[in-house]
């Protein structure tokens, strides 16, 4: 392997490492935001909000690394696809971090853990979404297009769960305040968006591995 090839591989390895580290931070932020909400842990919610700063800095660093890689190496088709995907994945992960912040802020707004029935709905949806996100990240790390496709298919179940939870939230017989209903609605919506971003991540993995673009 030539010196140039060694440098190229080292730069690629570094970019993949940084993306994996960002994904780990984002998954932890989402997990902590949900746990804080379900337990009424204001300290954890505040820590999750403050932790978004380092996540945002990391996304900017990765963006710089990708553009520098393109400028230095003038990559061929395969590596160029990877850089294009990483830039989009980077953006998706940043948005998931933002959704974790929003979920944490909802706890600050209602100032208490949600009603048991609402908490069960949040936990159900969060489990489905977190599994989808974890598999999406794994599919990219492993360059596994089949896992990415299987993860995309999970979005149908998430959609069914969300629809049922939205309908339940409109139950006029439930003794929930309007503030609590709006807060939980916001949490459901953010979890749904995390699933959408996980799907985007999978689509970028498929594009990187096979060159297959997003289905229209």
Given a cut of 60, whether residue 215 has pLDDT beyond it is no
Mind listing the pLDDT tens digit for each residue in 11-52?
999 999 999 999 999 999 999 999 999 999 999 999 999 999
Indicate whether 213 pLDDT > 80: no
Rounded-to-integer distance, Cα 69 and Cα 165, Å: 45
CA distance 178 to 102: 18
| Band of pLDDT at residue 186, cut at 50, 70 and 90 | very high
Separation of alpha carbons 34 and 98, rounded Å = 13
pLDDT tens for each residue of 154-170? 999 999 999 999 999 99
pLDDT of residue 70: 95
Q: 159: how many CB neighbours lie within 10 A of its CB?
A: 12
Full DSSP string of 75-98: --HHHHHHHHHHHHHHHHHHHHHH
pLDDT at res. 172 = 83
Residue 212 pLDDT exceeds 90:
no
Query: Per mean pLDDT, which of 33-42, 167-176, 204-213 is the most reliable?
Result: 33-42
- pLDDT, the chain, mean: 95
Looking at residues 120-135, what average pLDDT do you find?
A: 98
């Amino acid at each position: 392997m030539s010196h140039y090839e060694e440098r190229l591989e080292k730069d690629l390895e570094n970019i993949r490492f940084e993306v994996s580290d960002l994904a780990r931070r984002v998954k932890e932020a989402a997990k902590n935001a949900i746990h804080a909400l379900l337990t009424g842990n204001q300290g954890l919610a505040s820590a999750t909000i403050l932790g978004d700063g380092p996540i945002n800095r990391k996304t900017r660093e990765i963006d710089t690394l990708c553009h520098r890689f393109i400028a230095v190496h003038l990559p061929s088709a395969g590596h160029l696809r990877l850089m294009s995907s990483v830039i989009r994945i980077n953006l998706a992960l940043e948005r998931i971090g933002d959704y974790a912040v929003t979920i944490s802020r909802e706890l600050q707004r209602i100032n208490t853990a949600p009603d048991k029935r609402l908490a069960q709905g949040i936990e159900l949806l969060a489990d489905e979404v977190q599994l989808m996100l974890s598999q999406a990240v794994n599919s990219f790390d492993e360059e596994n297009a089949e896992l990415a496709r299987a993860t995309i298919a999970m979005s149908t179940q998430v959609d069914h769960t969300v629809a049922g939870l939205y309908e339940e939230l409109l139950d006029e017989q439930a003794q929930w305040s309007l503030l609590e209903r709006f807060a939980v609605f916001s949490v459901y919506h953010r979890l749904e968006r995390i699933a959408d971003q996980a799907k985007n991540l999978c689509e970028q993995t498929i594009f990187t591995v096979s060159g297959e673009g997003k289905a229209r």
